[in-house]
Chains A and B, each alone.
Chain A
Amino acid sequence: MAAGIDQSGGVEVLLMGNEAIARGALEAGVQVAAGYPGTPSSEVVENLARVAEKNGLYVEWSVNEKVAMEVAAAASFAGLRSLCVMKQNGVNVASDFLLHLVGSGVRGGMVLVTCDDPGALSSVNEGESRHFARMVEIPLLEPGDFQEAKDMLPWAFALSEEIRSLVMVRSVTRMSHASGNVVLGELPTEKRRAFFSCESNVFDLDHGPLYSTPVIRKHILQQERIRRVREISEKCTFNRYEGPENPELLVITSSACTLYSKEAIHLLGLKDRVGLLKLGTTWPIPSELVTRRLAAAEKVLVVEEVLPFLEDHVKILAAETAGRIGRTQFFGKNDGTIPMVGELNPDLVAKAIGSILNISYEGMTPAYEESLKAPTMARIPQREQTFCPGCPHRASFWVMHEALALDGRQGFVCGDIGCYSLAAISPANGYDTMKTIHSMGSGTGLASGFGKLGPFGLDQPVLAVCGDSTFYHAAIPALINAVHHKANIILVVLDNGGTAMTGFQSHPGLGVNAMNEAVPAVNLERVCQTLGARVEVRDPFDLQETRKTLNRMIKDETGVRVLIMRQICALSPEKRGKRLYTVSVQEDLCLGEKCGCNRLCTRIFRCPGLGWDPAKGKAVVDEVICAGCGVCALVCPAGAIQRQEVAR
């Protein structure tokens, strides 16, 4: 692991799916990689950035996914192999350029890696990028295990160069963030020289300018390419069948579901009765291979996560080849055999196969199942997600809550994407202030709209929040809109000094880039001021001063105001493990339930570093958990929580 993804070939190592993808790109000779961080995709660019200098790569965290794709495309236009990486909804952001890039085509091999999040383990949506491949007509590849996650990249780059089109490789959380054994291939030594050859005419694919026009001619060209991909995919070794020649049931699957399906067949002991067709090229699908397998089975189950994508395309093919495949009964999403939401696992696939073949599958014995009904089990406390101890967002939301309560007009916060989304996922984390959450930058955009509803009677204060990285990514156009239209809003930028949620990746506000080089920082407050907003900067740990400032800004109802709440993330490498204060409870001052504060510190403030001693009826500080931010000392009305500055 610490060896980096650029160690020499031939050895077998344990790699995370995202590390395997990054290694595969290195083996393919990628020279430029760009992305925007987003779980579960971030480690691909991160790992490439770590080895960039040594391997002569250029790697950047772009301002957003659309720009990342443009940056990578430029490298491809100049003949280099390039990679762009994003999570599922990042493809939405990039999709306008994506559509036009397919029109123009590429030169050096270019691969788009998207990591989807079925089950929304770290997302506020269950969106899917697979549909984009069909929609814009580019090849879609999906690795079925960790070795393939690596091996697929060189194949994808070669395919991209052969057809001169962008190729999409799609992973999912359980592939990207899972790990497995991978045998490494060799790293290339040759480097290409970048040159954008563009002096010829638009029909010269090697030396002309790159346009998506003339549209119809370019569209025909792309559809010819896809027909070629269909032919190539027939012989692609990422498409494999295992099982009896004429199975009772044919399972067609791809991605992480390959591993679930294999395991489900194993759990049910059905190796001799169920066949597994595992596809690595999922759009376009290899028609001949799939038709041959459909012809050999009467029952077919398509196993995939979230919406029926593969299932639809298999069924279209079945309709086209009905004469050859004969009578076929399909199972999958549309008939309810496989759930259409959430991620799958071996149990769900085993149940689905079992329901078709009339085999019951229970993972647990009835006796063990019975023992789980003991009263203790029902009392195991749920563990809801919460801001970390020492998290500046807790203080920031405390301030916003206090200020809005003091104002008394039922003001609200329009939420955005980052750790602070927890204020919507578990509203008590944000003291019930956050009332909307959508896509990146949408908090400011929505606020811009709410801020124009005054003439229609809306007199609630309108706050939007966004993190520092989100500000650069998507909030700036919305802020421009709000300023230009004199929307009556306050944008609170929760500036914690990095892209904290995904692991402290750099962003344009910082003086360092993905490769750890010094770069010019784009100053947050100056951007806001230049756009015409009035700007204040406060430390949210200074609860009183920040609250006063916010109330003053709420009262001043003219146009756009920006309050930057600046305090570095508690988990950031420079802060982690360093306490500002030693915090303790002075027991004689804590009046407990008799205080009248309604246990403000533990019941309302909700920091995991605090606790309640039921025997004494007093608050306590959990010294293992407490991060020493000292904010709770400011919250306690009795002055019982005391903080002492840690000497440096």
Chain B
Amino acid sequence: MKRKERLQKDPYNIVITGVGGQGNVMASRVLSNMLVRRGYRVTIGETFGMSQRGGAVMSHIRVSPKAQWSPQIPRGKADMVVALEPVEAIRVLMTYGNPKVMVLINTRPIYPVGVITGELTYPSLQEIESTVKSLSAGAWFLDATVEAVKLGNPILGNIVMIGAVAAMGELPVNRGDFEDVISRTLPADKLEVNLQAFDIGAAKIERQYF
């Protein structure tokens, strides 16, 4: 599939979800700045503070050629869901999903405390896969945390996922946009490993998708 040079919708709605501490906020800032660099108006809606402590977190990214959309995506209106944690993808689809939504999922679970204590159960990855597929136009599964651990830090899973998002071709952003944004954001010594993480994510999608 060829990279789309323009957004297919106005607004184009992206949800990045995960668990507090996974780098959700950074991922949403990086992706949004890549889009702003391309001349789009972007609104990010997110919550942090208390909600970050082990809870489910979500960033809503609204992208538009001209309008500043609200910081909350309406029910059923997500175009892309990027889940840094598998069950969070389903949680988001239950409110924001629709038959056309595309979903990218990091397969590494972070078990809720209720699962650790045995009060709740965590669905199997197969069950998550079939559920997400039934609720979306397409789902892509990546072992982003595994790759990030190989790079030396599990937090880089968020950048692996951004690499994957860029490689999907749905958004008019590329590696150059990423490099430009993070070189303005991160200290120089962190640049290389982030670019590696980005490339790993992109390669994983290219292998599955093209």
B43 touches A1 (CB 8 A): no
Closest partner residue, chain B, to A3 (CB atom)? B184
Closest partner residue, chain A, to B35 (CB atom)? A14
Question: Cβ of B8 < 8 Å from any Cβ of A?
Answer: no
Question: Which one of A173, A384, A502, A610 lies within 8 Å of B55 (CB-CB)?
Answer: A384
Q: Name which of B42, B50, B77, B120 has the most chain A CB atoms within 10 A of its CB.
A: B50
CB distance from B137 to the nearest CB of A (A): 12
Specify which chain A residues have a CB less than 8 angstroms from the CB of B36 in the assembled complex.
12-14, 181
Specify which chain B residues have a CB less than 8 angstroms from the CB of A365 in the assembled complex.
76, 98-99
User: Which residues 123-146 of B have a CB within 8 angstroms of A?
Assistant: 123, 127-128, 131, 134-135, 145
**Given contacts A145-B68, A381-B120, is CB(A606)–CB(B75) below 8 Å?**
no
CA separation between A611 and B112, bound complex, in Å?
10
CA separation between A612 and B112, bound complex, in Å?
12
A374 touches B76 (CB 8 A): no
B123 touches A180 (CB 8 A): no
Specify which chain B residues have a CB less than 8 angstroms from the CB of A3 in the assembled complex.
184
Question: Cβ of B110 < 8 Å from any Cβ of A?
Answer: yes
Question: Cβ of B74 < 8 Å from any Cβ of A?
Answer: yes
Specify which chain A residues have a CB less than 8 angstroms from the CB of B56 in the assembled complex.
383
Question: Which one of B19, B45, B114, B154 lies within 8 Å of A174 (CB-CB)?
Answer: B45
A379 touches B121 (CB 8 A): yes
CB distance from B22 to the nearest CB of A (A): 10
Question: Cβ of B44 < 8 Å from any Cβ of A?
Answer: yes
Question: Cβ of A377 < 8 Å from any Cβ of B?
Answer: yes
CA separation between A145 and B118, bound complex, in Å?
45
A256 touches B116 (CB 8 A): no
Question: Which one of A180, A367, A385 lies within 8 Å of B50 (CB-CB)?
Answer: A385
Specify which chain B residues have a CB less than 8 angstroms from the CB of A602 in the assembled complex.
116-118
A14 touches B42 (CB 8 A): yes
A364 touches B123 (CB 8 A): no
Specify which chain B residues have a CB less than 8 angstroms from the CB of A502 in the assembled complex.
49
Binds A, one of B86-94, B161-169, B170-178: B86-94
Question: Which one of B41, B43, B54, B87 lies within 8 Å of A385 (CB-CB)?
Answer: B54
Q: Name which of A121, A384, A604, A606 has the most chain B CB atoms within 10 A of its CB.
A: A384
CA separation between A365 and B149, bound complex, in Å?
40
Specify which chain A residues have a CB less than 8 angstroms from the CB of B149 in the assembled complex.
624
B74 touches A345 (CB 8 A): yes
CA separation between A608 and B127, bound complex, in Å?
23
Specify which chain B residues have a CB less than 8 angstroms from the CB of A604 in the assembled complex.
117
**Given contacts A14-B32, A345-B74, is CB(A376)–CB(B110) below 8 Å?**
no
CB distance from B29 to the nearest CB of A (A): 6
Specify which chain B residues have a CB less than 8 angstroms from the CB of A146 in the assembled complex.
43, 68
Binds B, one of A259-267, A504-512, A518-526: A259-267
Q: Name which of A177, A267, A611 has the most chain B CB atoms within 10 A of its CB.
A: A177
CB distance from B142 to the nearest CB of A (A): 15
B46 touches A177 (CB 8 A): yes
**Given contacts A368-B76, A376-B131, A624-B108, is CB(A381)–CB(B114) below 8 Å?**
yes
B70 touches A385 (CB 8 A): no
Produce 1/0 per residue, B38-68, CB < 8 A to A: 0001111111111101111000000000001
A419 touches B74 (CB 8 A): no
Question: Cβ of B33 < 8 Å from any Cβ of A?
Answer: yes
**Given contacts A368-B76, A384-B55, is CB(A379)–CB(B50) below 8 Å?**
no
CA separation between A111 and B98, bound complex, in Å?
45
A368 touches B71 (CB 8 A): no
A347 touches B75 (CB 8 A): yes
A121 touches B50 (CB 8 A): yes
Question: Cβ of A136 < 8 Å from any Cβ of B?
Answer: no
Closest partner residue, chain A, to B50 (CB atom)? A122
CA separation between A421 and B97, bound complex, in Å?
33
Closest partner residue, chain A, to B131 (CB atom)? A376
Q: Name which of A367, A371, A381, A501 has the most chain B CB atoms within 10 A of its CB.
A: A381
Specify which chain A residues have a CB less than 8 angstroms from the CB of B29 in the assembled complex.
1, 14, 179
Specify which chain A residues have a CB less than 8 angstroms from the CB of B42 in the assembled complex.
14, 179-181
CB distance from B189 to the nearest CB of A (A): 14
Closest partner residue, chain B, to A377 (CB atom)? B94
Produce 1/0 per residue, A224-237, CB < 8 A to B: 00000000000000
CB distance from A127 to the nearest CB of B (A): 15
User: Which residues 15-34 of B have a CB within 8 angstroms of A?
Assistant: 19, 21, 29, 32-33
B47 touches A122 (CB 8 A): yes
* Total A-B pairs, Cβ < 8 A: 201
User: Which residues 110-152 of A have a CB within 8 angstroms of B?
Assistant: 121-123, 145-147
Specify which chain A residues have a CB less than 8 angstroms from the CB of B32 in the assembled complex.
14, 179
A608 touches B76 (CB 8 A): no
Question: Cβ of B113 < 8 Å from any Cβ of A?
Answer: yes
CA separation between A42 and B72, bound complex, in Å?
21
Specify which chain A residues have a CB less than 8 angstroms from the CB of B123 in the assembled complex.
376, 379-380
Question: Which one of A367, A374, A625 lies within 8 Å of B131 (CB-CB)?
Answer: A374
B49 touches A606 (CB 8 A): no
CB distance from B26 to the nearest CB of A (A): 10
Question: Cβ of A40 < 8 Å from any Cβ of B?
Answer: yes
**Given contacts A1-B185, A376-B131, is CB(A39)–CB(B108) below 8 Å?**
no
Question: Cβ of A191 < 8 Å from any Cβ of B?
Answer: no
CA separation between A173 and B72, bound complex, in Å?
12
Q: Name which of B88, B117, B186 has the most chain A CB atoms within 10 A of its CB.
A: B117
A381 touches B112 (CB 8 A): yes
CB distance from A372 to the nearest CB of B (A): 6
Specify which chain B residues have a CB less than 8 angstroms from the CB of A625 in the assembled complex.
110
CA separation between A275 and B70, bound complex, in Å?
18
A388 touches B120 (CB 8 A): no
B50 touches A39 (CB 8 A): yes
Question: Cβ of A387 < 8 Å from any Cβ of B?
Answer: yes
Closest partner residue, chain A, to B90 (CB atom)? A380
Specify which chain A residues have a CB less than 8 angstroms from the CB of B118 in the assembled complex.
599, 602-603, 612
A376 touches B90 (CB 8 A): yes
A610 touches B116 (CB 8 A): yes
CA separation between A452 and B112, bound complex, in Å?
41
Specify which chain A residues have a CB less than 8 angstroms from the CB of B41 in the assembled complex.
180-181
CB distance from A402 to the nearest CB of B (A): 19
CB distance from B169 to the nearest CB of A (A): 23
Produce 1/0 per residue, A157-190, CB < 8 A to B: 0000000000000000111011111000000000
Specify which chain B residues have a CB less than 8 angstroms from the CB of A175 in the assembled complex.
71
User: Which residues 334-388 of A have a CB within 8 angstroms of B?
Assistant: 345-347, 350, 362-365, 367-368, 371-372, 374, 376-377, 379-388
Question: Ordered nearest first, which 3 A-B pairs have the shortest CB separation?
Answer: A363-B75, A122-B49, A39-B49
Task: Name 30 interchain pairs, CB-CB below 8 A, sorted by A.
Answer: A2-B186, A12-B36, A122-B50, A146-B68, A174-B45, A174-B71, A177-B47, A178-B44, A178-B45, A179-B32, A181-B42, A263-B70, A263-B74, A345-B70, A346-B72, A363-B74, A367-B99, A376-B90, A376-B127, A382-B114, A382-B120, A385-B55, A388-B53, A422-B50, A606-B113, A607-B116, A608-B54, A608-B111, A612-B116, A624-B154
Q: Please name 11 further chain A to chain B contacts, defined as beta carbons within 8 Å, in addition to the given A422-B53, A624-B110, sorted by A numbering.
A: A14-B33, A14-B36, A175-B71, A178-B43, A372-B94, A380-B94, A380-B123, A382-B114, A419-B53, A501-B50, A599-B118
Residues of A participating in the B interface, judged by any CB pair closer than 8 Å: 1-3, 12-14, 39-40, 121-123, 145-147, 173-175, 177-181, 256, 259-260, 262-263, 267, 345-347, 350, 362-365, 367-368, 371-372, 374, 376-377, 379-388, 419, 421-422, 425, 501-502, 577, 599, 602-604, 606-608, 610-612, 622, 624-625
Residues of B participating in the A interface, judged by any CB pair closer than 8 Å: 19, 21, 29, 32-33, 36, 41-51, 53-56, 68-72, 74-77, 87-88, 90-91, 94, 97-99, 108, 110-118, 120-123, 127-128, 131, 134-135, 145, 149, 153-154, 184-186
